[in-house]
Chains A and B, each alone.
Chain A
Amino acid sequence: MLVYIAKRLAVAVPTLMLLIIISFLLMHAAPGGPFTQERQLPAQVLANLEAKYGLDQPLWKQLASYVWGIIAHFDFGPSFIYKDRTVNEIVAQGFPVTLYYGFLSFLVAVFVGVSLGIAAAIRHNTWLDYLAVGVSIGAQVLPNFVMAPILLLTFTYWLRWLPGGGWEGGQWQYVIMPVIALSTSFMASIARITRASMLEVLTSNHIRTARAKGLPERKVIMRHALKPALLPVLSYLGPAFVTMITGSVVVDFFFSTGGIGKSFVDSALNRDYAVMLGITILVGSLTILFNLVVDILYAWIDPKIRY
């Protein structure tokens, strides 16, 4: 097991380095520097600015100091646009918010999705099954940037039940709509995957044995069918995590929650490369970490995996 974890780590670290290097080079290959403005700056001012941010150094030196800053001090450098703020400060402001509603959405999606999928599989080819399949396909084709305005229109504009936006330290009224908007499509996918794998597991030999020895159906499902059926769901959670973080772009836009998605879009529109790069790397490393955890969990649960 330890060897397996070490092996996965040995892949994860170079992946992360590659991500940093590719994003960094992309940033520097872009036409026009961060200080290219409509009004041309005097050459001396430009040179001073570039010297201040280290942009006059050779590329490899910049890369080396950037990577070293991340590894040694967890420092993503200063923002190019906001003179008094560093990337770390900007991320530290938005990230807890994203993590909070993201994690909640994640829990909701997994819980509802798995329950729906199992219910549909147990009642295969009944109205419940058709309803679950219909709901999950419907939710899958409604992207979150359509869900969000529809929710706003219904609950804020017509019914006036919930506030239309803001965060207010994460009080429940402000969290409900972001969580629904973010979790729906993700829940739908989980429900579909759970249903399909549950149906497959229910026809397998060990379930027939369990039934034949007279176990009550409830026990058959909970003790024998659930674990193997959830394995495909587990491997979906890694990509789902990325979906969740990118979905935050939409949630922040419609509900003004002020998460990391807002910082990313703002920095993209301002051409604040340092912030964009920082967020890309942060999300990338989280993705890699998450995939690693999922892989290890998978190996731990599924005895068929040799490591």
Chain B
Amino acid sequence: MVVDTVDMKGLSDRLAATEVKGRSLWADARRRFIRNKAAVAGVIVLVAIALLSIFGDALAVWTNEEIDFNVIGQAAQLGYPSIENGHYFGTDDLGRDLYSRTLQGTRISLMVGIVGSFIAVIVGTLYGAISGYVGGRTDQIMMRIVDILLAIPFMFVIILLLVMFGRSIFLLFLGIGLLSWLNMARIVRGQTLSLKHKEYVEAAQATGVAGFVIVLRHIVPNLLGIVAVYATLLVPEMILTESFISFLGLGVQEPLTSLGALISEGAKTILYGTIWQLAYPLAFFVLTLFAFFFVGDGLRDALDPKDR
């Protein structure tokens, strides 16, 4: 009888390793996410756009405020995109460089999206988790407030605010922040209701942990999956909201700009033959939104074990 010593060695090794390494939810999710090509492509595009918008200014010949007096008023004839004169994306009618303006607009739009989403994550998660965990009358009152706020046409209120108190970026963030957390609170509350009767929560309650600590230490970490998905999907929505307000001319003010403002300007001047004024900002806008949607969908599929 020939015993293959190498095989035996392998077997004993495997038996010695008493603990089989389980796959955690997160490891599983990561594996599924990486297999999703659209989502990975989305992440790559997002990283590329973010890096370009932050460091791309180093390549720019013109700043976003400078006026090129050679092309002023003749954007259709001379302002086309070209490498030679340093206007990679062309210029607008005032002779401002579209490349640096697009980068700067992308920065603002990403910032609006991320800040809005961030507020939603912080306020919405805490509000929803507390409402769901405490339950009873408190829950009813808290959710009734959300229902009431949701019924108010916020787009109109934001416009009202911006017209009355002057156009400022702070107010824009405030308005978008006010709007963004409501749905998050509802989603989180629903999830919390199903979490609060889990054994580990009961164990924490039995050992006398304070309610707020349970929410922070035991409930919120378990909500992160759904919160991450919703936050990712919220970013494009916030960008759309901001661009709509900028379209009306109420958003970010000159010399600063945002993708929405650039697109609306491009759309209004398209008949003069300056198609690049619409094309480049729109390309950045569409790519960013696409990427966020794909990443959000990918995250949801990755974290939802039902849909394997």
Contacts and interface: CB of A to CB of B under 8 A. Distances in A.
Partners in one complex: yes
Interface of A: 11-12, 14-15, 18-19, 22-23, 26-27, 29-31, 137, 140-143, 145-146, 148-149, 153, 157, 242, 245-246, 249-250, 264-265, 268-269, 271, 273, 276, 279-280, 283-284, 287-288, 291
Given A137-B293, A145-B244, A288 B270 contact: no
B171 interface: no
Interface in B229-273: 236, 240, 243-244, 247-248, 250, 263-264, 267-268, 270-271
A280 B160 contact: yes
Question: Residue among B156, B278, B282 with the most chain A CB within 10 A?
Answer: B156
Q: Looking at chain B's contact residues, is the secondary structure mostly helix, strand, loop, or mixed?
A: helix
Contact of A140 (B151, B263, B293): B293
Nearest to A16: B151
A288 B148 CA distance: 9
B24 to A, nearest CB: 26
B161 to A, nearest CB: 7
A151 to B, nearest CB: 11
Q: Looking at chain A's contact residues, is the secondary structure mostly helix, strand, loop, or mixed?
A: helix
Contact of A283 (B144, B156, B248, B264): B156
A268 B163 contact: yes
28 contacts: A11-B147, A12-B151, A15-B147, A18-B148, A19-B152, A26-B157, A27-B164, A29-B164, A31-B165, A137-B290, A137-B293, A140-B293, A141-B285, A142-B286, A143-B243, A145-B243, A145-B247, A145-B267, A146-B263, A146-B282, A157-B271, A245-B153, A246-B156, A249-B248, A271-B163, A273-B164, A276-B160, A280-B153
Interface string B282-303: 1001100110010000000000
A15 B144 CA distance: 10
A26 B148 CA distance: 18
B155 interface: yes
Contact of A288 (B151, B278, B293): B151
Contacts of A18: 148, 152
B159 interface: yes
Given A141-B286, A149-B267, A23 B165 contact: no
B164 A284 contact: no
A284 to B, nearest CB: 5
Nearest to B300: A196
B148 A15 contact: yes
Contacts of A31: 164-165
A12 B150 CA distance: 12
A306 B165 CA distance: 45
A63 to B, nearest CB: 16
Contacts of B153: 242, 245-246, 280, 283-284, 287
A143 B270 contact: no
Contacts of A249: 248
Interface in B169-226: none
Given A145-B264, A279-B156, 12 more contacts: A23-B160, A27-B164, A29-B164, A137-B293, A141-B236, A141-B290, A149-B267, A249-B248, A268-B163, A283-B156, A287-B153, A288-B151
A283 B157 CA distance: 11
Contacts of B250: 268
Contact of B289 (A11, A141, A149, A279): A141
